[in-house]
Amino acid sequence: MEPYCADAAADVFAAAIGTFNCLLGQLADPQTASWTHDRLEEVIEQQGRELLRLLLQAHLDLRALREQDAVAKAGIGGAGIGGAAAVMGADGLPRRRVEMRHHRLLATVFGTVTVTRCAWRAPGLPNVYPADMALSLPAGRHSHGLARLAVAEAVRGSFDAAHAAITARCGNVLGKRQLQRLVQAAAVDIDAFYQQRTPVPRTRDELLVLSCDAKGVVMRPEALRPATAKAAARATRTFRTRLAAGQKSCRKRMATLGALYDAEPAPRRPHDVIALPGGRTGERKPRPGPHASGKWLCGSVINDPDEVIAALFDQAEARDPRHARPWIMLVDGARHQLDLIHAEAIRRSAAINIVIDFIHVIEKLWAGAWCLHRPADPAAEDWVATHALALLAGHARQVITDLDTQAAHLPADRRDGIDTCIRYLTDHAEFLRYDQALAAGWPIATGVIEGACRHLIADRLDITGARWGLAGAEAILKLRALITNNDLPEYWRHHLGQEHQRVHGQHDYGLIA
């Protein structure tokens, strides 16, 4: 290295070296022998963070000095003086004038630093900063490292808690609204990331299981869907302090979620799923069901359900482009979802096997059981088990007939639960072929998507007092799904590449004659 650069390095790092020596001296001082470990941690954390900030600041200052030295060697004089050298802008026009020591602030995980660089100028044209591109600086003040920290904290808890955690770690480097904007900006490339990603191939005998569901998110009034907003405007409240029976708050917007996973077939018999009336004897262990692997989640509160289902099918085709594997679609029986699934399957010429979630069927049976039994009657459990085993054996039509016969003597005011059960089974009879599903080793429950609803929505978007705007809810939902998929490190590299293109373009600034 040239002597100039060596002297410059010694000068710019002097403050960092002084801070480090001061910390060493403080720790070696005999007075610190009486400090407790928590006080030592506090001092080292505070001064260590300042040391890291000074090291980053010193490196940026050194790069600024080297850039100024390169400009001087290229034959450019003081500020505003033209010369033979120039920098070509992204617009294809040269900048032949240069001004030294242009400054901008950069908030980082260590604190706020100042970036000094040269501005290449031309009359009537925006300035060009080659150093900004070399450092891949963001368009705003906050660094990419701070943005990633904001994502990590914001997806775990409230924005207030995330802001407090970042302030405790990094100092006062950003506000709550800036934190929200960083999180929203961090999610903009998730859809494109998954569209260009190629999943690892799987064997053709392995099951490809799809599932979808919806869950409401409390929104601010301006973020509601038009129909919900109109219903909220028309609603009249019976009570001032609470809703009356049958009234809805009209404050939620439905978010649609999709889940996809691979599973090895696991053949079973009905008794492996439901114990015989009276319970299991313990002589034979029930066979386990299929084990989910390679889980992938997606969701949106902005897009309509058909768009989320299309994205789910996109991921399924990426894993099985030739449709060679068995496709199993697990649903809860919502008619509008079934219609959208059928339409998407026809559009893609995909053969899907729809199975109604058995847990939903059990709930309908329990509703019917209380029409025929007293509350807390142990016989209700055996009644449910008997009919559930019959359904698992493939006798759905016989179960419907038996339920109708048993309910014939009930008065009209006691038939609601069993009538609901009969309608549910009748409407979905073609999807209740559990005997075929168990023999083929398919899953018959929607535990994965139900868990996704709790994890992605309830654990974060449904926290007490939360009311969401569209952009914030969409960003948090997609980022939580991305992190659950274990794709954040890979996505972040993709996102930084896209950010660099958006901010700096593909132009490589350099001195030209």
The candidate with the shortest Cα–Cα distance to 222, out of 476, 461, 473, 454, is: 473
Q: Between the CA of residue 142 and those of 45, 190, 317, what are the distances in Å?
A: 22, 20, 38
Asked whether residue 81 carries a pLDDT value surpassing 50, the answer given is: no
Residue 223 CB burial class (10 angstroms; 0-12, 13-18, ≥19): buried
Output the CA angle 160-165-166, nearest 5 degrees: 100
- Return the CATH architecture of domain 200-233+249-281+297-357+445-489: 2-Layer Sandwich (3.30)
| Percent of the chain surpassing pLDDT 70 | 93
> How far, in Å, CA of 199 to CA of 195, rounded?
10
Residue 60 is predicted with a pLDDT of 96
- Secondary structure (3-state) at 441: coil
Which residues is 125 bridged to in the sheet? 122
- Helix 470-484 vs helix 488-504: crossing angle, to nearest 10: 130
Asked whether residue 509 carries a pLDDT value surpassing 70, the answer given is: no
Residues with Cβ within 8 Å of residue 308, at least 6 apart in sequence: 212, 256, 257, 258, 298, 299, 300
Express each pLDDT in 340-353 by its tens digit. Answer: 999 999 999 999 99
What is the pLDDT averaged over residues 293-310?
95
* Tokens, residue 153: 């904290």
* Tokens, residue 25: 């001296």
Confidence of residue 1 (pLDDT cuts 50, 70, 90): very low
In the block, tokens 């400090």 appear at 35
Cα torsion angle, 277, 281, 287, 289, sign? positive
Higher pLDDT, 414 or 284: 414
**Contact (Cβ atoms closer than 8 angstroms) between residue 316 and residue 194:** no
In 219-305, at which residue ranges do the beta strands (DSSP E only) sit?
Answer: 252-263, 292-300
Cα torsion angle, 458, 463, 464, 469, sign? negative
Express each pLDDT in 320-376 by its tens digit. Answer: 999 999 999 999 989 999 999 999 999 999 999 999 999 999 999 999 999 999 988
Count Cβ atoms below 10 Å from residue 273 Cβ, excluding itself: 20
Q: Where are the domains of the chain?
A: 3-129, 200-233+249-281+297-357+445-489, 358-433
* Tokens, residue 368: 């019917």
The number of C-alpha atoms within 13 Å of 210 and in the hemisphere containing its C-beta is: 28
Residue 2 is predicted with a pLDDT of 45
Cα torsion angle, 212, 214, 219, 224, sign? positive
> How far, in Å, CA of 91 to CA of 507, rounded?
9
Q: Is 376 left (phi over 0), alpha (psi -120 to 50) or beta?
A: left
Which residues is 107 bridged to in the sheet? 112, 142
Express each pLDDT in 42-69 by its tens digit. Answer: 999 999 999 999 999 999 999 999 999 8
In the block, tokens 């100028």 appear at 121
**Contact (Cβ atoms closer than 8 angstroms) between residue 192 and residue 198:** no
Express each pLDDT in 224-248 by its tens digit. Answer: 988 888 887 777 767 767 766 666 6
Residue 50 is predicted with a pLDDT of 95
* Tokens, residue 450: 């139900």
What is the pLDDT averaged over residues 253-272?
95
Which residues is 207 bridged to in the sheet? 263
Residue 87 is predicted with a pLDDT of 86
Confidence of residue 512 (pLDDT cuts 50, 70, 90): low
In the block, tokens 């009879």 appear at 429
- Secondary structure (3-state) at 466: coil
Asked whether residue 7 carries a pLDDT value surpassing 80, the answer given is: no
What is the pLDDT averaged over residues 463-489?
95
Q: In whole angstroms, how large is the CA radius of gyration of the chain?
A: 32
What is the pLDDT averaged over residues 403-419?
91
In 48-136, at which residue ranges do the beta strands (DSSP E only) sit?
Answer: 86-88, 94-95, 97-108, 111-122, 125-128
Count Cβ atoms below 10 Å from residue 212 Cβ, excluding itself: 26
* Tokens, residue 492: 């972040």
Residue 233 is predicted with a pLDDT of 77
The DSSP call for residue 219 is: B
Run of H or E including 216: strand 207-218
Residue 64 is predicted with a pLDDT of 94
Chain centroid, CA 18 distance in Å: 43
Q: Between the CA of residue 91 and those of 55, 82, 148, 177, 303, what are the distances in Å?
A: 35, 20, 31, 34, 36
What is the pLDDT averaged over residues 73-78?
63
Asked whether residue 157 carries a pLDDT value surpassing 80, the answer given is: yes
